[in-house]
Amino acid sequence: MKGGIVIELQTISQVSKHFSISTRTLRYYEQIGLITPMKKEDFAYRVYDIEAITRLRQIIILRKLRIPLKQIAEILQSADVGVAIEAFERNLMEIEDEITALSTIRSVIKAFIQHLNLGSAIFALPDDEGLLEIVDSLTVSKINFKEAKSMEQLNHASEKLSKLEDKDVRIVYLPPMTVAAAYASGEGCEGKVMGMINQFVKDSGLLKIKPDARSFGFDCSKEEVVLGEPSHIYEGWVSVPDDIEIPMPLVKRTFSGGLYAAHVLRTWDFEDWRLLREWVNASDKYDNDWDSPRWISPETVAGQGFEETLNFYNFIQKGSKMEDLQLDLLFPIKEKDNGRL
Protein backbone atom coordinates (compact mmCIF):
# COMPACT_ATOMS: atom_id res chain seq x y z
CA MET A 1 0.00 0.00 0.00
CA LYS A 2 1.30 3.44 -0.91
CA GLY A 3 -0.41 6.65 0.28
CA GLY A 4 -3.52 4.63 1.16
CA ILE A 5 -3.75 3.19 -2.37
CA VAL A 6 -3.36 -0.53 -2.99
CA ILE A 7 -0.82 -1.09 -5.77
CA GLU A 8 -1.50 -4.12 -7.95
CA LEU A 9 1.66 -6.10 -8.61
CA GLN A 10 2.02 -7.86 -11.96
CA THR A 11 4.07 -10.93 -12.88
CA ILE A 12 6.55 -10.94 -15.74
CA SER A 13 4.10 -12.98 -17.87
CA GLN A 14 1.30 -10.47 -17.27
CA VAL A 15 3.55 -7.54 -18.17
CA SER A 16 4.83 -9.42 -21.24
CA LYS A 17 1.30 -9.99 -22.55
CA HIS A 18 0.07 -6.48 -21.73
CA PHE A 19 2.92 -4.74 -23.56
CA SER A 20 3.45 -7.43 -26.26
CA ILE A 21 7.10 -7.72 -25.32
CA SER A 22 8.99 -10.97 -24.71
CA THR A 23 9.96 -12.00 -21.19
CA ARG A 24 13.56 -12.37 -22.33
CA THR A 25 13.59 -8.75 -23.48
CA LEU A 26 12.20 -7.75 -20.08
CA ARG A 27 14.98 -9.69 -18.35
CA TYR A 28 17.54 -8.01 -20.60
CA TYR A 29 16.18 -4.61 -19.58
CA GLU A 30 16.51 -5.71 -15.94
CA GLN A 31 20.07 -6.92 -16.36
CA ILE A 32 21.26 -3.67 -17.93
CA GLY A 33 19.52 -1.68 -15.20
CA LEU A 34 16.66 -0.10 -17.13
CA ILE A 35 13.89 -1.58 -14.93
CA THR A 36 13.90 -3.17 -11.48
CA PRO A 37 11.36 -5.84 -10.48
CA MET A 38 10.42 -6.73 -6.92
CA LYS A 39 10.82 -10.09 -5.19
CA LYS A 40 8.06 -10.87 -2.68
CA GLU A 41 8.70 -13.42 0.06
CA ASP A 42 5.27 -15.02 -0.40
CA PHE A 43 5.49 -15.13 -4.21
CA ALA A 44 7.60 -17.48 -6.32
CA TYR A 45 8.18 -15.09 -9.23
CA ARG A 46 9.48 -11.58 -9.76
CA VAL A 47 6.75 -8.95 -9.84
CA TYR A 48 6.50 -5.39 -11.13
CA ASP A 49 5.01 -2.48 -9.22
CA ILE A 50 3.48 0.66 -10.71
CA GLU A 51 6.85 2.41 -10.77
CA ALA A 52 8.50 -0.34 -12.81
CA ILE A 53 5.52 -0.55 -15.18
CA THR A 54 5.57 3.23 -15.70
CA ARG A 55 9.31 3.03 -16.43
CA LEU A 56 8.73 0.20 -18.92
CA ARG A 57 6.05 2.23 -20.70
CA GLN A 58 8.56 5.09 -21.06
CA ILE A 59 11.20 2.71 -22.45
CA ILE A 60 8.78 1.35 -25.05
CA ILE A 61 7.80 4.86 -26.16
CA LEU A 62 11.43 5.91 -26.49
CA ARG A 63 12.31 2.73 -28.42
CA LYS A 64 9.47 3.39 -30.86
CA LEU A 65 10.96 6.86 -31.36
CA ARG A 66 14.21 5.10 -32.36
CA ILE A 67 16.18 6.21 -29.30
CA PRO A 68 19.04 3.71 -28.66
CA LEU A 69 18.99 1.76 -25.38
CA LYS A 70 22.23 3.39 -24.24
CA GLN A 71 20.66 6.85 -24.57
CA ILE A 72 17.44 5.64 -22.93
CA ALA A 73 19.47 4.54 -19.91
CA GLU A 74 21.12 7.97 -19.75
CA ILE A 75 17.75 9.73 -19.98
CA LEU A 76 16.01 7.63 -17.31
CA GLN A 77 18.92 7.54 -14.90
CA SER A 78 19.56 11.29 -14.99
CA ALA A 79 17.57 13.97 -13.19
CA ASP A 80 18.90 16.52 -15.66
CA VAL A 81 16.30 17.32 -18.32
CA GLY A 82 19.16 18.49 -20.53
CA VAL A 83 20.22 14.87 -21.07
CA ALA A 84 16.80 14.05 -22.56
CA ILE A 85 16.76 17.21 -24.68
CA GLU A 86 20.20 16.41 -26.09
CA ALA A 87 19.14 12.84 -26.99
CA PHE A 88 15.92 14.06 -28.64
CA GLU A 89 17.75 16.79 -30.58
CA ARG A 90 20.29 14.24 -31.83
CA ASN A 91 17.46 11.94 -32.91
CA LEU A 92 15.64 14.86 -34.55
CA MET A 93 18.75 15.83 -36.53
CA GLU A 94 19.04 12.28 -37.88
CA ILE A 95 15.37 12.27 -38.89
CA GLU A 96 15.68 15.65 -40.58
CA ASP A 97 18.76 14.41 -42.47
CA GLU A 98 16.73 11.43 -43.69
CA ILE A 99 13.82 13.68 -44.72
CA THR A 100 16.23 15.92 -46.64
CA ALA A 101 17.81 12.91 -48.30
CA LEU A 102 14.41 11.49 -49.27
CA SER A 103 13.39 14.82 -50.72
CA THR A 104 16.60 14.88 -52.76
CA ILE A 105 16.00 11.33 -53.97
CA ARG A 106 12.46 12.25 -55.00
CA SER A 107 13.71 15.26 -56.98
CA VAL A 108 16.42 13.19 -58.71
CA ILE A 109 13.98 10.42 -59.65
CA LYS A 110 11.52 13.00 -61.04
CA ALA A 111 14.38 14.42 -63.12
CA PHE A 112 15.19 10.92 -64.39
CA ILE A 113 11.56 10.34 -65.38
CA GLN A 114 11.43 13.66 -67.20
CA HIS A 115 14.70 12.88 -68.99
CA LEU A 116 13.53 9.39 -70.02
CA ASN A 117 10.17 10.70 -71.26
CA LEU A 118 12.01 13.08 -73.57
CA GLY A 119 14.55 10.53 -74.77
CA SER A 120 14.58 7.42 -76.93
CA ALA A 121 13.13 3.99 -76.17
CA ILE A 122 16.59 2.80 -75.03
CA PHE A 123 17.30 3.28 -71.33
CA ALA A 124 20.06 5.77 -70.55
CA LEU A 125 20.48 8.06 -67.56
CA PRO A 126 21.60 11.67 -68.09
CA ASP A 127 25.40 11.98 -68.14
CA ASP A 128 25.48 14.93 -65.76
CA GLU A 129 28.51 15.54 -63.49
CA GLY A 130 26.50 17.71 -61.09
CA LEU A 131 23.78 15.08 -60.78
CA LEU A 132 26.37 12.42 -59.99
CA GLU A 133 27.78 14.60 -57.18
CA ILE A 134 24.30 14.98 -55.67
CA VAL A 135 23.65 11.23 -55.72
CA ASP A 136 27.13 10.46 -54.34
CA SER A 137 26.46 12.77 -51.41
CA LEU A 138 23.51 10.65 -50.23
CA THR A 139 24.44 8.51 -47.23
CA VAL A 140 21.05 7.21 -46.24
CA SER A 141 21.56 3.48 -45.79
CA LYS A 142 19.21 3.52 -42.81
CA ILE A 143 16.28 4.68 -44.93
CA ASN A 144 13.94 1.78 -45.58
CA PHE A 145 10.58 3.48 -45.90
CA LYS A 146 8.55 5.16 -48.61
CA GLU A 147 6.28 8.16 -48.80
CA ALA A 148 2.82 6.66 -48.38
CA LYS A 149 -0.12 8.68 -49.68
CA SER A 150 -2.97 6.40 -48.73
CA MET A 151 -4.00 3.99 -45.99
CA GLU A 152 -3.66 1.14 -48.47
CA GLN A 153 -0.04 2.09 -49.09
CA LEU A 154 0.58 2.42 -45.36
CA ASN A 155 -0.86 -1.04 -44.74
CA HIS A 156 1.27 -2.46 -47.54
CA ALA A 157 4.39 -0.83 -46.07
CA SER A 158 3.52 -2.16 -42.60
CA GLU A 159 3.01 -5.68 -43.98
CA LYS A 160 6.35 -5.53 -45.75
CA LEU A 161 8.13 -4.41 -42.58
CA SER A 162 6.60 -7.34 -40.67
CA LYS A 163 8.29 -9.87 -42.94
CA LEU A 164 11.90 -10.92 -43.40
CA GLU A 165 13.29 -10.43 -46.88
CA ASP A 166 15.79 -12.83 -48.44
CA LYS A 167 18.55 -10.32 -47.67
CA ASP A 168 17.70 -10.58 -43.95
CA VAL A 169 18.33 -14.35 -43.81
CA ARG A 170 21.58 -16.26 -44.24
CA ILE A 171 21.84 -19.99 -44.93
CA VAL A 172 24.54 -21.59 -42.78
CA TYR A 173 25.78 -25.10 -42.14
CA LEU A 174 26.66 -26.06 -38.57
CA PRO A 175 29.31 -28.81 -38.61
CA PRO A 176 29.15 -31.88 -36.36
CA MET A 177 30.53 -31.13 -32.90
CA THR A 178 30.83 -32.41 -29.36
CA VAL A 179 29.25 -30.12 -26.78
CA ALA A 180 29.02 -29.72 -23.02
CA ALA A 181 25.33 -29.21 -22.21
CA ALA A 182 23.56 -27.76 -19.18
CA TYR A 183 19.81 -27.57 -18.62
CA ALA A 184 17.43 -26.12 -16.03
CA SER A 185 13.71 -25.57 -15.56
CA GLY A 186 11.47 -22.94 -14.00
CA GLU A 187 11.73 -19.18 -13.77
CA GLY A 188 15.06 -17.77 -14.83
CA CYS A 189 16.19 -21.09 -16.32
CA GLU A 190 17.96 -19.32 -19.20
CA GLY A 191 20.18 -17.38 -16.81
CA LYS A 192 20.88 -20.45 -14.67
CA VAL A 193 21.95 -22.47 -17.70
CA MET A 194 24.21 -19.84 -19.20
CA GLY A 195 25.72 -19.28 -15.74
CA MET A 196 26.65 -22.98 -15.57
CA ILE A 197 28.08 -22.94 -19.09
CA ASN A 198 30.13 -19.79 -18.50
CA GLN A 199 31.45 -21.16 -15.20
CA PHE A 200 32.51 -24.40 -16.90
CA VAL A 201 34.30 -22.42 -19.62
CA LYS A 202 36.26 -20.46 -17.01
CA ASP A 203 37.02 -23.40 -14.68
CA SER A 204 38.20 -25.66 -17.52
CA GLY A 205 40.22 -22.99 -19.32
CA LEU A 206 38.30 -24.05 -22.43
CA LEU A 207 39.08 -20.96 -24.47
CA LYS A 208 42.83 -21.64 -24.16
CA ILE A 209 42.28 -25.17 -25.46
CA LYS A 210 39.58 -24.28 -27.99
CA PRO A 211 39.47 -20.54 -28.75
CA ASP A 212 36.96 -21.19 -31.54
CA ALA A 213 34.37 -22.62 -29.11
CA ARG A 214 30.75 -21.81 -30.00
CA SER A 215 27.86 -21.44 -27.58
CA PHE A 216 24.16 -22.12 -28.19
CA GLY A 217 20.98 -21.95 -26.14
CA PHE A 218 17.41 -23.10 -26.82
CA ASP A 219 14.07 -23.76 -25.19
CA CYS A 220 13.57 -27.53 -25.04
CA SER A 221 10.12 -27.78 -23.49
CA LYS A 222 8.09 -30.75 -24.73
CA GLU A 223 5.00 -28.57 -25.06
CA GLU A 224 4.88 -25.68 -27.51
CA VAL A 225 6.02 -22.43 -25.91
CA VAL A 226 3.95 -19.35 -26.73
CA LEU A 227 6.07 -16.46 -27.99
CA GLY A 228 6.60 -14.04 -25.11
CA GLU A 229 6.06 -16.70 -22.45
CA PRO A 230 9.05 -17.69 -20.27
CA SER A 231 10.91 -20.91 -21.07
CA HIS A 232 9.85 -23.98 -19.08
CA ILE A 233 13.07 -25.91 -19.74
CA TYR A 234 16.17 -24.33 -21.25
CA GLU A 235 19.39 -25.95 -22.45
CA GLY A 236 22.73 -24.37 -23.24
CA TRP A 237 25.76 -25.74 -25.10
CA VAL A 238 29.39 -24.95 -25.63
CA SER A 239 31.45 -26.86 -28.19
CA VAL A 240 34.37 -28.81 -26.68
CA PRO A 241 37.20 -31.18 -27.75
CA ASP A 242 35.96 -34.78 -28.05
CA ASP A 243 38.19 -36.07 -25.23
CA ILE A 244 37.51 -33.40 -22.60
CA GLU A 245 36.02 -34.46 -19.25
CA ILE A 246 32.61 -32.92 -18.55
CA PRO A 247 31.81 -32.35 -14.83
CA MET A 248 28.34 -32.89 -13.39
CA PRO A 249 25.70 -31.54 -13.65
CA LEU A 250 26.75 -30.87 -17.25
CA VAL A 251 26.48 -33.70 -19.78
CA LYS A 252 28.25 -34.45 -23.05
CA ARG A 253 26.24 -34.52 -26.28
CA THR A 254 27.15 -35.24 -29.90
CA PHE A 255 25.58 -32.89 -32.45
CA SER A 256 25.36 -34.33 -35.97
CA GLY A 257 25.32 -30.93 -37.72
CA GLY A 258 22.88 -29.55 -40.25
CA LEU A 259 21.55 -26.66 -42.30
CA TYR A 260 20.04 -23.55 -40.68
CA ALA A 261 18.35 -20.31 -41.70
CA ALA A 262 20.12 -17.59 -39.70
CA HIS A 263 18.99 -14.10 -38.70
CA VAL A 264 20.81 -11.72 -36.35
CA LEU A 265 18.68 -10.57 -33.42
CA ARG A 266 19.32 -6.83 -33.65
CA THR A 267 16.90 -5.20 -31.21
CA TRP A 268 16.20 -7.94 -28.63
CA ASP A 269 12.79 -8.47 -30.17
CA PHE A 270 12.17 -12.22 -30.04
CA GLU A 271 9.20 -11.74 -32.35
CA ASP A 272 11.92 -12.30 -34.96
CA TRP A 273 11.57 -16.05 -34.28
CA ARG A 274 8.04 -15.91 -35.73
CA LEU A 275 9.26 -13.88 -38.72
CA LEU A 276 12.06 -16.37 -39.35
CA ARG A 277 9.65 -19.32 -39.18
CA GLU A 278 7.33 -17.59 -41.65
CA TRP A 279 10.27 -16.97 -44.00
CA VAL A 280 11.21 -20.67 -43.87
CA ASN A 281 7.62 -21.83 -44.42
CA ALA A 282 7.28 -19.53 -47.45
CA SER A 283 10.62 -20.55 -48.99
CA ASP A 284 10.62 -22.35 -52.33
CA LYS A 285 14.15 -23.69 -51.68
CA TYR A 286 14.01 -24.98 -48.10
CA ASP A 287 11.67 -26.99 -45.87
CA ASN A 288 11.03 -26.48 -42.16
CA ASP A 289 13.08 -29.14 -40.31
CA TRP A 290 12.10 -28.21 -36.74
CA ASP A 291 11.75 -31.20 -34.40
CA SER A 292 13.96 -33.45 -36.56
CA PRO A 293 16.51 -34.85 -34.06
CA ARG A 294 20.09 -33.82 -34.76
CA TRP A 295 21.40 -35.16 -31.44
CA ILE A 296 20.38 -37.70 -28.80
CA SER A 297 19.10 -36.32 -25.50
CA PRO A 298 17.58 -38.62 -22.85
CA GLU A 299 16.96 -35.62 -20.57
CA THR A 300 15.39 -32.99 -22.84
CA VAL A 301 13.77 -32.54 -26.24
CA ALA A 302 16.18 -32.87 -29.19
CA GLY A 303 15.79 -31.03 -32.49
CA GLN A 304 15.13 -27.32 -32.04
CA GLY A 305 16.27 -23.94 -33.23
CA PHE A 306 19.27 -22.31 -31.55
CA GLU A 307 20.20 -18.88 -30.25
CA GLU A 308 23.96 -18.65 -30.81
CA THR A 309 26.13 -16.24 -28.86
CA LEU A 310 28.11 -14.34 -31.48
CA ASN A 311 31.81 -13.75 -30.82
CA PHE A 312 31.63 -16.07 -27.80
CA TYR A 313 35.35 -15.73 -27.05
CA ASN A 314 35.10 -11.95 -26.74
CA PHE A 315 31.86 -12.19 -24.73
CA ILE A 316 33.51 -14.41 -22.10
CA GLN A 317 36.67 -12.31 -22.01
CA LYS A 318 34.62 -9.20 -21.27
CA GLY A 319 32.96 -10.84 -18.28
CA SER A 320 29.76 -12.18 -19.89
CA LYS A 321 28.00 -8.82 -19.59
CA MET A 322 24.51 -8.67 -21.08
CA GLU A 323 25.27 -5.40 -22.89
CA ASP A 324 27.97 -7.27 -24.85
CA LEU A 325 25.69 -10.17 -25.80
CA GLN A 326 24.74 -10.55 -29.47
CA LEU A 327 22.59 -13.42 -30.67
CA ASP A 328 22.05 -15.21 -33.97
CA LEU A 329 18.72 -17.01 -34.41
CA LEU A 330 19.22 -20.38 -36.15
CA PHE A 331 16.19 -22.20 -37.58
CA PRO A 332 16.73 -25.83 -38.72
CA ILE A 333 15.96 -26.38 -42.42
CA LYS A 334 16.59 -28.87 -45.20
CA GLU A 335 16.72 -28.41 -48.95
CA LYS A 336 13.48 -29.16 -50.80
CA ASP A 337 13.46 -32.32 -52.84
CA ASN A 338 11.73 -30.61 -55.81
CA GLY A 339 11.17 -33.95 -57.51
CA ARG A 340 14.84 -34.96 -57.69
CA LEU A 341 15.46 -38.66 -58.17
Q: ∠ CA 220-225-228 to the nearest 5 degrees?
A: 120
Lowest mean pLDDT, pick from 73-82, 84-93, 126-135, 145-154: 145-154
Report how far residue 107's alpha carbon sits from residue 110's, in angstroms, rounded to the nearest whole number.
Answer: 5
CB atoms within 10 A of CB 15: 20
Cis before residue 249, ω within 30 degrees of 0? yes
Whether residue 269 has pLDDT greater than 50: yes
- Tell me the per-residue pLDDT of 198-247, one tens digit each, with 9 for 90 and over: 999 999 999 999 999 999 999 887 766 555 566 778 999 999 999 999 99
| CA distance linking residue 254 with residue 237, whole number of Å | 11
- Say yes or no to pLDDT of 2 above 60: no
CB atoms within 10 A of CB 91: 16
pLDDT at 136: 62
pLDDT band at 1 (very low <50, low <70, confident <90, very high): very low
pLDDT of residue 13: 78
Stated pTM of the model: 0.63
pLDDT at residue 7 is higher than 80: no
Is the confidence at residue 305, as pLDDT, over 70?
yes
pLDDT value of residue 45? 66
Residue 33 pLDDT greater than 90, yes or no: no
Say if residue 143's pLDDT is above 50.
no
- Asked whether residue 62 carries a pLDDT value surpassing 60, the answer given is yes
Between the two ends of the chain, the Cα-to-Cα distance in Å is 72
Which H or E run contains 146? none
Q: Is 303 exposed, middle or buried (0-12, 13-18, 19+ CB in 10 A)?
A: middle
Residue 29 has pLDDT above 60, yes or no: yes
Q: What are the angstrom distances between the C-alpha of 109 and each of 84, 103, 104, 113, 125?
A: 37, 10, 9, 6, 11
Question: Is residue 265 a contact partner of residue 217, using CB atoms and an 8 Å limit?
Answer: no
Least confident of 173-177, 199-203, 230-234, 332-336: 230-234
Q: What is the pLDDT of residues 66-97, one digit of tens each?
A: 788 888 888 888 778 888 888 888 888 888 87
Average pLDDT of the chain, as a whole number: 80
Q: What percent of the chain has pLDDT over 70?
A: 78
What angle separates helix 69-77 from helix 50-64, to the nearest 10 degrees?
Answer: 140
Strands (E), the chain: 10-11, 38-39, 46-48, 170-174, 177-185, 215-219, 233-240, 251-255, 258-265, 286-288, 306-309, 327-335
Q: Percent of the chain beyond pLDDT 90?
A: 31
Q: Which amino acid is at 249?
A: P
Output 209 or 339, whichever has higher pLDDT.
Answer: 209
DSSP state for residue 123 in the 8-state scheme? -
Q: Which residues of 233-271 are buried (b: 16+ CB within 10 A; e: fewer)?
A: bbbbbbbbeeeeebeeebbebebeebbbbbbebeebebe
